[in-house]
């Protein structure tokens, strides 16, 4: 049976879309293979591309601080992105890029089999096949999804860059994070 390292090795040499051309490093994701919660972001930014690690730039620091304020350490979870390579100038990933990268995400989720997927923002929600016009239609609700015949529970919230820029959204973001983590107190370590 494959493990997360097998998937990461494939991601690191992936050439399935043009995002591979300018990348310094693909960013497969990192964290606990036995995590009960997987967090999915959008795509690597500049710092992530340089270091090959997810959420280590400004919005990553904001996310880590928000999690720590709730007593959650990043080592307890697995964090990845909808798209594993940095889009030029930090543009939003295109629909086709999300679709091309999706099998990697599904393989990671099938290995970990988390109790809950926390999707940060619209790209993450799209990568899970959730349909919506506005984030407000799907935000803060537990949604059942099926990926490759497997059932998962998912909660969608803002991408951390939004509450980072707009302090008025911070309470709502923290409420969603605590809703996610309160629903699964027995995180593996």
Select from 35-43, 64-72, 135-143, 162-170 the region that touches ligand URA (CB under 6 A). 35-43
Q: Which of 32, 66, 81, 108 binds ligand URA (CB under 6 A)?
A: 81
Is the Cβ of residue 36 or residue 122 nearer to ligand URA in the bound state? 122
Compute the distance between CA of residue 152 and CA of residue 2 in angstroms, rounded to an integer: 20
β-bridge pairing 78-81 and 30-31: antiparallel
Q: Where are the beta strands (DSSP E) in 34-148?
A: 37-41, 78-81, 116-120, 142-147
Does 162 bind ligand URA (CB under 6 A)? Our answer is no
C-alpha pair distances (Å), 63 with each of 40, 60, 69, 163, 169:
12, 5, 10, 10, 13
Interacting residues with ligand URA between 56 and 75 (CB under 6 A): 57, 59-60
Does 125 bind ligand URA (CB under 6 A)? Our answer is no
User: Residue 122 CB: number of other CB atoms within 10 A?
Assistant: 20
Number of chain residues interacting with ligand URA (CB under 6 A):
12
Is the Cβ of residue 27 or residue 76 nearer to ligand URA in the bound state? 27
Compute the distance between CA of residue 72 and CA of residue 179 in angstroms, rounded to an integer: 13
Is the Cβ of residue 55 or residue 173 nearer to ligand URA in the bound state? 55
**Which residue, 81, 83, 79, 82, is CA-closest to 31?**
79
Does 118 bind ligand URA (CB under 6 A)? Our answer is no
CA 180 to chain centre: 14
Does 45 bind ligand URA (CB under 6 A)? Our answer is yes
Compute the distance between CA of residue 93 and CA of residue 40 in angstroms, rounded to an integer: 14
What is the smallest separation between the CB atom of 185 and ligand URA, expressed in angstroms?
Answer: 26
Q: Which of 52, 54, 114, 163 binds ligand URA (CB under 6 A)?
A: 54
Does 29 bind ligand URA (CB under 6 A)? Our answer is no
DSSP state of 150: E
Task: Report the residue number whose CB is nearest to ligand URA.
Answer: 41
Chain positions contacting ligand URA, by CB under 6 A: 41-45, 48, 54-55, 57, 59-60, 81
């Amino acid at each position: 049976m494959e493990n997360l390292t097998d998937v990461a090795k494939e991601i690191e040499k992936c050439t399935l879309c043009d995002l591979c051309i300018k990348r310094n490093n693909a960013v497969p994701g990192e964290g606990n293979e036995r995590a009960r919660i997987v967090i999915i972001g959008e795509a690597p930014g500049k710092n992530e591309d340089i270091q090959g690690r997810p959420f280590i730039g400004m919005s990553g620091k904001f996310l880590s601080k928000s999690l720590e304020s709730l007593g959650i350490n990043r080592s307890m979870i697995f964090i990845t992105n909808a798209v594993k390579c940095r889009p030029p100038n930090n543009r939003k990933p295109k629909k086709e890029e999300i679709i091309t990268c999706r099998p990697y995400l599904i393989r990671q989720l099938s290995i970990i089999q988390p109790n809950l997927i926390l999707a940060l923002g619209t790209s993450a929600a799209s990568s899970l096949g959730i349909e919506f016009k506005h984030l407000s239609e799907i935000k803060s609700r537990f949604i059942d999804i099926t990926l490759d015949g497997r059932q998962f529970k998912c909660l969608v919230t803002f991408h951390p860059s939004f509450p980072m820029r707009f302090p008025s959204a911070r309470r709502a973001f923290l409420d969603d994070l605590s809703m996610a983590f309160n629903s699964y107190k027995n995180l593996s370590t």
